[in-house]
């Protein structure tokens, strides 16, 4: 099979053109991004892919509080670790949000002999707490064996 013949006056990036322009590359990248995002987006729509039609429970203070002292299975990439939930705390710099159900921090501790814990989105699970992705950052007391997530869904004043 012979390749298509491109007329000398063809617009670069047009069908049959041998050269891609910045516009065509950006458009293709945008479509690729949409295609890659679709599977993740579909997972967020309850019941769409045959799962439960019930919406997932919100990640608020009440979702974590009963599990303080409990051990979570934490998966990051191909690594699974056990993390203890050591604290559900108020945000340090917001006295007006003390006790707010949607503004808080959770702190997890890993085994000290397991080495430093990485920043990333861990899938956390334990009995009574459905597997949920949570972004955790090394911080706080305990150094590299402590991970913290901050939740703050306070609306800005209008």
Same domain, 122 and 71: yes
Same domain, 76 and 122: yes
Confidence of residue 29 (pLDDT cuts 50, 70, 90): very low
Structural domain for 75, as ranges: 61-152
Last residue of a domain, one of 55, 75, 98: 55
Confidence of residue 11 (pLDDT cuts 50, 70, 90): low
Same domain, 31 and 68: no
Tens digit of pLDDT for each residue in 36-90? 333 433 344 444 444 444 555 678 999 999 999 999 999 999 899 999 999 999 9
Same domain, 40 and 70: no
Structural domain includes residue 10: yes
Last residue of a domain, one of 55, 79, 101: 55
Tokens 């987006």 belong to residue: 41
Same domain, 94 and 49: no
Structural domain includes residue 3: yes
Same domain, 51 and 65: no
pLDDT of 150 higher than 90: yes
CB-based burial label for 31 (10 Å; 0-12, 13-18, 19+)? exposed
Residue 134 token pair: 């949570």
Average pLDDT, the chain: 73
The single-letter DSSP state of residue 145 is G
Closest CA to 64 of 89, 44, 29, 42: 89
Same domain, 6 and 21: yes
pLDDT at 99: 85
pLDDT of 131 higher than 50: yes
Strands 103-110 and 120-126: unpaired
Entry pTM: 0.61
Count up the domains in the chain and report the number.
Answer: 2
Structural domain includes residue 92: yes
CB-based burial label for 139 (10 Å; 0-12, 13-18, 19+)? middle
pLDDT of 33 higher than 70: no
Per-residue CA distances from 130 to 57, 123, 138, 155 (Å): 9, 10, 23, 27
pLDDT of 115 higher than 60: yes
């Amino acid at each position: 099979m012979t390749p298509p013949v491109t007329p000398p006056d063809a617009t670069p990036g047009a069908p049959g053109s041998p050269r891609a322009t910045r516009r065509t590359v950006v458009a293709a990248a945008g479509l690729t991004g949409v295609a890659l995002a679709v599977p993740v987006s579909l997972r967020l729509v309850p019941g769409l892919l045959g799962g439960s039609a019930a919406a997932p429970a919100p990640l608020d203070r009440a979702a974590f509080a009963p599990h303080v002292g409990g051990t979570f299975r934490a998966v990051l990439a191909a690594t699974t670790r056990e993390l203890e939930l050591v604290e559900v705390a108020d945000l340090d710099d917001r006295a007006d949000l003390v006790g707010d159900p949607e503004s808080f921090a959770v702190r997890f501790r890993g085994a000290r002999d397991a080495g430093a814990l990485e920043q990333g989105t861990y899938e956390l699970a334990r009995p009574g707490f459905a597997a949920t992705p949570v972004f955790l950052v090394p911080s706080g007391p305990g150094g590299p064996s402590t991970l913290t997530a901050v939740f703050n869904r306070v609306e800005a004043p209008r």
